Amino acid sequence: MKTALASMERWFRRHSIRNLMTYVVGGMLVVFLMDFLLPSLRLESWLYLNWRLVMRGQVWRLLTFVLLPPSSSLVWIIFSLYFYWLIGSALENHWGTARFNMFYFVGILGNILSAAITGSGTNTYLNLSLFLAFAAVYPNFELMLFFFLPVKVKYLALLDVVLYAWNLIVGPWSVRAAIVFSLLNVILFFGGDLISTIRRESSYWKTRANFRRAMRR
């Protein structure tokens, strides 16, 4: 696995896009503004990933789905896009341009495979993969939840992992396929590390709970 990733990274060194998230977030902002100012164009309807339409020749959808805005709220879009730019830029600075491009485009490929199986795809899990990667690299980075409550991203990431693990168990096959293939980049890059993190955090909370029970006796 490491050899394959190393070979891919060498290829991406020659073809990588510097400041990739700036272009992605900029594209999301353009799409949002176009839909907000000119709703009759229904621009998003021409961009989302639908496998049936791809097979009819609309191949641009294999890439344009990444530009769909994460929110339809004029206020929330500012924070969402800034956050995605922040975590994407931080990962590129940490990994280097080639490795970050590889991570992102493997995520795109996973979403395309998911769409081929389920019929449609979304960039929701692709955006989630960025957050999980950021949490793995910067676990103690704090976010202000509800603008006043500081929470470390590792706890938010663990919550996401638990929620999606539950969906893998109880969800229909289409949801399971979408989650697994869409998070292919996270599995390839962080599978072992995420499992270790979950076990470490679980052990920490168990030890803390046992300590509290012992103190009450």
Pairing of strands 142-145, 120-121: unpaired
Look up tokens 């229904």; give the residue.
42
The pLDDT, as a whole number, for residue 168 is 83
The pLDDT, as a whole number, for residue 205 is 67
Complete domains list, the chain, with CATH? 2-216 (1.20.1540.10)
pTM, entire model:
0.80
- Helix, strand, or coil (residue 172): coil
Q: Which two tokens stand for residue 147?
A: 């603008």
CA dist list (Å): 40 to 35, 36, 44, 45, 205: 8, 9, 11, 11, 52
Neighbours of 66 (CB within 10 A): 21
Share in percent of the chain as helix, strand, coil (round to 5): 75, 5, 15
97-151 confidence digits (pLDDT tens): 988 999 999 999 999 998 998 898 889 888 988 998 998 888 888 887 766 778 8
Mean pLDDT in runs of 10 for the chain (217 residues)? 64 82 96 91 92 96 94 84 94 92 91 90 88 89 75 86 84 81 80 61 69 68
Give the Cα separation of 98 and 150 in Å (integer).
Answer: 32
